[in-house]
């Protein structure tokens, strides 16, 4: 596509953002969105705008446009996440919102709800991530760390005995020899048929005659071909015949080449822009720096004269650098409301003391009333956050001021704009000169103060010691007590050494290059209908992709978004085995460019024994914070929270699986907004935690995401996708609907294992001759046991205890899961007796 295409896309997106702001805050408050359906429409529109901005930002080659576009894109993503969290509140706390009926009303397909992952999360940090991967690979090779296990294949029985193996080889060899004899016999038969046909036709030409006839036929064919080409050219020239399509030039391949070319141009323009900043900064300083210096000096000198005490002749103190220095003088802050009210009060005169006494009556009662009023008003007027709205408004205003009416007829190649670069550099140069002038004016002010003190001392015969003492006292008062800081046991070690130690122990791992779209599955088309019938449906696999992208990838990928969006410290993925939990954890780390720390109990068993486990957890979180973004992964997370020693002994580990619990809770509690660290837990048996363990386990995670088994619609997508992933394909005649029905109850990982085992190298070569059919797939499916009903029911019972579901089904408060049968009930029972 051309540059103007992405430019138009950007302009459309900015105008749509402006429309969205007006839709959220209309002039008539009664028209403002209130219920879930209205906010869902706004959410879908933000998602469409985000997709436009991401596409145009990815392919735009103008470096300055990309900077402004990124601000708008991040603000749009942040606002979309704010609306998403607000929709969850309106949806009774359920994370999966079913919008299929709204999509039907808007005449949109389910693909609209697929949240795109911005490519700049990785591309803008390409060099940094490349260096990190090389360092990681070198450490893995140095310490000979084992990589992740390969995808499992179904094993068919035990190996054959010697006699059975010999008989099997003999049978196969006899079959091969018979097939070879049949092939040679077919060739001989074909040759005899050709000879018989020649004899019947009486073809008895000599060698020379046959050669002459062949040459004449070839010359005639070449002549006819030449005439046809010339006539085709004439017809194409006059427009009576379309030009032939180049078969070798595939449209998708050419599109990919064009996109890669634009990426190269993009990098070249960014390099030129960075070089121009250095050169133009020197020019701005040289041409305009002296005028800036004189302006600052004049204003500061005028401030000295204005603030000088006319009676004593003393000069004011220069503002401290921490307070802004001369910035306070050049741009004085507006007066506060309190100062204005004080000035008005002083002008009116003294207040009536009787009124003040009357106002001070019953302070406790007033405080109680205020608290009640505040609580009631907060509950009644809870509103959606608006942290990102100023950023969207600023981005739209900047677009209108800079780019909307800008004439770019002379910038065909979309290189940097020199005048805009100068406008960007002027504030930077001004700030640098201001800091230099501040140092000079502080020296000048001190000299003026010394002159005033000398004159006063000459008159009074004193040297003004009292004032100096007063200054010292003021300094002493300013000193406050320093709070106790937590000791860092690794303060004497560099981050590189900690990084290398974690890699050598297999805790910091190289994340495979997987994507969220590798988690195959479709949307649900009946979920909203089930909700209307008071049935809470399982989340679809498309909803799981959407939720994990919004809760994990988008905040981790951008510091701006993470600091301002609703904060999620930890997230639990629970479901049956092989439902894609580990795949999604790796996809989150890969797409956000995060480090992947695996502190699963089995992975850390035998490492850092005893009390050294505290050092391990501290090192992991220290490196994760320093090298953010980071994902801290815990497989079999439920076993970390078990306190039953009998159960812990059954796992057969060297160290108890719960040994990291205490330090983990401390470190996670210390995480704050802006630290892009996510604790991600996987659990296939979350129901193992009961009573007190269940409350601790449930309360530790900010979000609980259920990984479902694929439904019928998802299985129709999963089967073809798995065959393509393993270099195979299903024919058009394949009965996919029947196979989707038969495979009910199997997880996506089990289906992947079936396809991987079926498509051997030999079988892939024979696919054209013998396509895959249902009996062949069933032959391998029979060797895999589906997910049992008991496990599925246990997982659903655990789901009913999660905070949102506990409120809907149990009538309890959020966070009250697992409190039944506690000590209070037992105590109450004894009293009744």
Percent with pLDDT over 70 in the chain: 83
Q: At what angle do helices 712-725 and 748-758 cross, to 10 degrees?
A: 40
* Average of per-residue pLDDT values in the chain: 81
DSSP 31: G
Report the alpha-carbon distance of residue 375 to residue 369 in Å, rounded: 10
The model's pLDDT over 80-105, given as tens digits with 9 standing for 90+, comes to 999 999 999 998 888 898 888 899 88
pLDDT reading at 432 higher than 80? yes
For residue 25, count other CB atoms closer than 10 A to its CB.
13
CB contact at 8 A, 821 and 691: yes
Beta bridge partners of 683: 574
Report the alpha-carbon distance of residue 139 to residue 609 in Å, rounded: 23
Mean pLDDT in residue range 400-407: 85
Mean pLDDT in residue range 700-728: 91
Mean pLDDT in residue range 568-590: 91
**Residue 140: C-alpha distances to residues 133, 298, 473, 508 (Å):** 10, 62, 59, 10
In which band, very low, low, confident or very high, does the pLDDT at 832 lie, cut at 50, 70 and 90? Answer: very low
Q: Give pLDDT, residue 544.
A: 92
Q: Give pLDDT, residue 542.
A: 92
Burial class (CB in 10 A: 0-12, 13-18, 19+), 66: buried
Radius of gyration for the alpha carbons in the chain, expressed in angstroms and rounded: 37
What DSSP element (H or E) covers 634? Answer: strand 630-634
Residue 818 vs residue 548, higher pLDDT: 548
Report the alpha-carbon distance of residue 537 to residue 531 in Å, rounded: 7
pLDDT reading at 681 higher than 60? yes
Q: Give pLDDT, residue 77.
A: 93
Report the alpha-carbon distance of residue 371 to residue 383 in Å, rounded: 19
Listed in sequence order, the residues at least 6 apart from 449 whose beta carbon sits closer than 8 Å to its beta carbon are 314, 315
CB contact at 8 A, 708 and 746: no
DSSP 512: P
pLDDT reading at 109 higher than 60? yes
Q: Which two tokens stand for residue 189?
A: 């038969």
The model's pLDDT over 286-339, given as tens digits with 9 standing for 90+, comes to 888 888 888 888 888 888 888 888 777 788 888 888 777 778 787 776 666 565
DSSP 809: I
In which band, very low, low, confident or very high, does the pLDDT at 156 lie, cut at 50, 70 and 90? Answer: low
Label residues 200-219 b or e (16+ Cβ within 10 Å = b).
eeeeeeeeeeeeeeeeeeee
Task: Tell me whether the omega of the peptide bond preceding residue 292 falls within 30 degrees of 0, making it cis.
Answer: no
Q: Which residue has the tokens 């048996």?
A: 685
CB contact at 8 A, 518 and 587: yes
Report the alpha-carbon distance of residue 257 to residue 560 in Å, rounded: 32
**Residue 407: C-alpha distances to residues 26, 180, 404, 410, 657 (Å):** 33, 77, 9, 8, 66
Listed in sequence order, the residues at least 6 apart from 563 whose beta carbon sits closer than 8 Å to its beta carbon are 673, 674
pTM of structure: 0.77
What DSSP element (H or E) covers 681? Answer: strand 677-683
Strands 595-598 and 630-634: parallel
For residue 445, count other CB atoms closer than 10 A to its CB.
16
Q: Which two tokens stand for residue 45?
A: 């529109």
Q: Which two tokens stand for residue 731?
A: 């024919």
The model's pLDDT over 330-379, given as tens digits with 9 standing for 90+, comes to 777 666 656 555 655 555 444 454 444 444 445 445 544 554 444 434 43
Helix extents (H) in 308-348:
327-330, 337-348
What DSSP element (H or E) covers 128? Answer: helix 126-143
């Amino acid at each position: 596509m051309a540059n103007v295409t992405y430019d138009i896309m950007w302009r459309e997106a900015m105008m749509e953002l402006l429309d969205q702001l007006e839709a959220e805050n209309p002039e008539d408050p009664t028209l403002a969105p209130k219920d879930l359906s209205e906010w869902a429409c706004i959410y879908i529109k933000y998602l469409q705008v985000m997709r436009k901005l991401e596409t145009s930002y990815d392919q735009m080659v103008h470096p300055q446009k990309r900077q402004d576009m990124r601000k708008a894109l991040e603000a749009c993503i942040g606002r979309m996440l704010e609306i998403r969290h607000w929709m969850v509140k309106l949806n009774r706390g359920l994370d999966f919102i079913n919008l299929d009926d709204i999509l039907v009303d808007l005449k949109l397909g389910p693909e609209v709800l697929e949240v795109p992952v911005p490519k700049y999360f990785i591309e803008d940090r390409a060099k940094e991530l490349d260096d990190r991967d090389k360092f990681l690979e070198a450490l893995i090779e140095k310490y000979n760390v084992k990589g992740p296990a390969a995808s499992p294949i179904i094993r068919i029985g035990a190996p054959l005995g010697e006699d059975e193996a010999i008989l099997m080889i003999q049978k196969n060899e006899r079959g091969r020899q018979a097939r070879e004899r049949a092939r040679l016999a077919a060739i001989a038969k074909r040759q005899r048929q050709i000879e018989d046909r020649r004899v019947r036709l009486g073809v008895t030409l000599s060698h020379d005659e046959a050669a002459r006839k062949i040459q004449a036929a070839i010359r005639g064919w070449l002549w006819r071909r030449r005439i046809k080409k010339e006539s085709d050219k004439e017809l194409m020239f006059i427009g009576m015949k379309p030009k032939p399509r180049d078969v070798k030039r595939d449209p998708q391949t050419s599109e990919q080449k064009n996109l890669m070319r634009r990426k190269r141009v993009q990098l070249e323009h960014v390099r030129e822009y960075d070089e121009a900043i250095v050169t133009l900064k020197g020019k701005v300083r040289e041409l305009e720096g002296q005028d800036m210096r004189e302006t600052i000096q004049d204003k500061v000198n005028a401030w000295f004269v204005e603030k000088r005490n006319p009676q004593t002749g003393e000069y004011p103190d220069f503002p401290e650098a921490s307070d802004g220095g001369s910035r306070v003088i050049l741009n004085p802050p507006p007066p506060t409301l309190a100062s204005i009210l004080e000035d008005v009060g002083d002008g009116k005169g003294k207040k009536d003391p009787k009124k003040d006494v009357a106002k001070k009556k019953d302070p406790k009662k007033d405080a109680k009333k205020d608290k009640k009023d505040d609580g009631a008003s907060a509950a009644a007027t809870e509103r959606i956050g608006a942290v990102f709205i100023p950023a969207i408004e600023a981005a739209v205003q900047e677009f209108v001021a800079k780019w909307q009416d800008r004439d770019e007829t002379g910038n065909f190649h979309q290189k940097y704009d020199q005048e805009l670069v100068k406008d960007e550099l002027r504030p930077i140069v001004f700030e640098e000169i201001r800091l230099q002038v501040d140092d000079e004016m502080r020296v000048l002010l001190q000299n003026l103060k010394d002159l005033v003190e000398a004159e006063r001392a000459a008159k009074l015969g004193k040297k003004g010691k009292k004032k100096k003492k007063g200054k010292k006292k003021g300094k002493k008062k300013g000193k406050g007590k320093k709070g106790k800081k937590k000791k860092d046991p690794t303060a004497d070690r560099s981050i590189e050494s900690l990084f290398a130690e974690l890699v050598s122990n297999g805790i910091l791992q190289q994340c495979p290059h997987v994507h969220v779209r590798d988690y195959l599955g479709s949307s649900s088309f009946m979920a909203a209908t089930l909700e209307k019938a008071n049935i809470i449906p399982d989340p679809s696999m498309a909803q799981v992709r959407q939720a994990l992208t919004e809760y994990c990838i988008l905040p981790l990928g951008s510091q701006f978004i993470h600091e301002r969006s609703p904060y999620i410290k930890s997230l639990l993925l629970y479901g049956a085995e092989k439902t894609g939990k580990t795949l999604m954890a790796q996809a989150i780390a890969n797409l956000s460019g995060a480090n992947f720390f695996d502190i699963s109990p089995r992975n850390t068993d035998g490492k850092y024994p005893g009390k050294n486990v505290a050092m391990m957890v501290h090192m992991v979180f220290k490196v994760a914070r320093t090298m953010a973004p980071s994902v801290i992964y815990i497989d079999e997370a439920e076993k970390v929270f078990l306190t039953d020693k009998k159960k812990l002994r059954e796992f057969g580990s060297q160290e108890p699986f719960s040994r990291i619990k205490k330090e983990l809770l401390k470190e996670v509690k210390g995480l704050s907004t802006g630290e892009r660290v996510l604790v991600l837990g996987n659990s296939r048996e979350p129901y193992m935690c009961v009573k007190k363990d269940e409350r601790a386990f449930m309360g530790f995670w900010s979000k609980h995401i259920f990984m479902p088994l694929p439904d019928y619609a998802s299985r129709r997508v999963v089967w073809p996708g798995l065959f393509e992933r393993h270099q195979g394909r299903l024919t058009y005649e394949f009965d996919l609907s029947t196979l989707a029905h038969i495979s009910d109850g199997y997880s996506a990982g089990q289906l992947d294992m079936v396809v991987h085992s079926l498509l051997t190298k030999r079988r892939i070569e024979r696919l054209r001759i013998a396509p895959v059919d249902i009996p062949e797939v069933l032959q391998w499916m029979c060797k895999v046991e589906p997910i049992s009903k008991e496990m599925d029911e246990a997982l659903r019972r655990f789901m009913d205890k999660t905070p949102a579901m506990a409120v809907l089904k149990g009538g309890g408060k959020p966070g009250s899961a697992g409190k039944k049968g506690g000590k209070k009930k037992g105590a109450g029972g004894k009293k009744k007796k």
